[in-house]
Structure 1
Amino acid sequence: MSNILNKLKKKLAERAAQGNLRALKTTTGLVDFCSNDYLGLARSKKLRKLIRQEEDKYTSLPLGATGSRLLSGNHLLFEELESIIAAYHKGKAALLYNSGYMANVGLLSALPQRGDTVFYDEASHASMKDGLRLSFAKSYSFRHNDVADLQQKLKLATGQVYVIVESVYSMGGDKAPLEDLAILCEKHNAALIVDEAHALGLYGEKGEGLTVALGLQDKVFAQVITYGKAMGNHGAAIVAPNVLRDYLINYSRAFIYTTGLPTHNLIALKCAYSLLPELTKEREHVKQLARQLQENLNKIPSIMCPSSDSVILSVFTEDVAQLKPLALYLQQKSFDVRPVMSPTVPIGKERLRVIVHAYNTEEEIVGLVQAITNHL
Structure 2
Amino acid sequence: MIQQQLASSEQYMQNKLDERKLLGNYRHLKQKSNLIDFCSNDYLGFARSADLKTAIQNEVDSYPLNLNGATGSRLISGNISYAEDLERQIAAFHHSEAGLLFNSGYDANIGLFSSLPQKGDTIIHDELIHASIIDGARLSHANRYTFRHNDLESLESKLKQAKGICYVVIESVYSMDGDTPPIWDILNLTQQYGAQLIIDEAHAVGLYPTGLIAHLELSGKVFARVVTFGKAIGCHGAIVLGSNLLREYLINFSRAFIYTTAAPFHQLAAVKMAYQLLKHSTIEIAQLHHNIAQFKKGIQPSGFNRLLRSDSVIQCILLNNNEKAKQAAQALQNAGCDVRPILSPTVAIGTERIRICLHSYNTADEISLLTTTINNITHE
| Structure 2 length-normalised TM | 0.95
Q: 2:113 aligns with which of 84, 108, 117?
A: 108
- The match for 1:257 is 259
Q: Distance in 2 between the 1:313 and 1:147 partners?
A: 23
Deviation readout 1:139-168 (Å, 9 max, x if unpaired):
100111112211121111111111011110
Q: Distance in 1 between the 2:110 and 2:299 partners?
A: 37
Partner-residue secondary structure (3-state), 1:234 = coil
- The match for 2:152 is 147
Residue type of the alignment partner of 2:187: A
Deviation readout 1:170-208 (Å, 9 max, x if unpaired):
0010012111111111222211100000001211xxx01
For the 8 Å contact 2:198–2:224, the answer to whether it is kept is yes
For the 8 Å contact 2:100–2:239, the answer to whether it is kept is yes
Deviation readout 1:279-327 (Å, 9 max, x if unpaired):
1221121122112212322435586212311010011237653221121
- The match for 2:167 is 162
- The match for 1:43 is 48
Matches within 5 A, 1:210-289: 210-289=212-291
Q: Distance in 1 between the 2:122 and 2:284 partners?
A: 40
* Change in 2 beyond 3 A, CA 1:156/1:9: same
Moved more, 284-293 or 210-219: 284-293
Q: Distance in 2 between the 1:212 and 1:168 partners?
A: 14
Partner-residue secondary structure (3-state), 1:108 = helix
Q: Distance in 2 between the 1:317 and 1:132 partners?
A: 31
- The match for 1:121 is 126
Q: 2:203 aligns with which of 194, 198, 206?
A: 198
Partner-residue secondary structure (3-state), 2:140 = coil
- The match for 1:343 is 345
Residue 131 (str. 1) matches residue 136 (str. 2): yes
Residue type of the alignment partner of 2:68: L
Moved more, 219-228 or 53-62: 53-62
- The match for 1:182 is 187
For the 8 Å contact 1:298–1:305, the answer to whether it is kept is no
- The match for 1:315 is 317
Aligned-pair CA distance for 1:352: 0.3
| Structure 1 length-normalised TM | 0.96
Deviation readout 1:303-354 (Å, 9 max, x if unpaired):
6212311010011237653221121121122110000000000000100000
Residue type of the alignment partner of 2:266: H
- Give ranges in structure 1 of 5+ residues lacking alignment: none
Aligned-pair CA distance for 1:35: 0.2
Instruction: Provide the alpha-carbon RMSD of the alignment.
Output: 1.4
Aligned-pair CA distance for 1:257: 0.5
- The match for 2:355 is 353
For the 8 Å contact 2:25–2:322, the answer to whether it is kept is no
- The match for 2:63 is 58
- The match for 1:74 is 79
For the 8 Å contact 2:321–2:349, the answer to whether it is kept is no
Q: Distance in 2 between the 1:244 and 1:301 partners?
A: 46
Q: Distance in 1 between the 2:294 and 2:75 partners?
A: 49
| Matched-pair identity in % | 49
Residue 19 (str. 1) matches residue 24 (str. 2): yes
Q: Distance in 2 between the 1:269 and 1:12 partners?
A: 38
Partner-residue secondary structure (3-state), 1:134 = helix
Q: Distance in 1 between the 2:300 and 2:180 partners?
A: 20
Partner-residue secondary structure (3-state), 2:279 = helix
Partner-residue secondary structure (3-state), 1:71 = coil
Q: Distance in 1 between the 2:143 and 2:66 partners?
A: 43
Residue type of the alignment partner of 1:251: F
Residue type of the alignment partner of 2:109: N
Residue type of the alignment partner of 1:215: E
Moved more, 294-303 or 43-52: 294-303
Matched length: 373
For the 8 Å contact 1:116–1:160, the answer to whether it is kept is yes
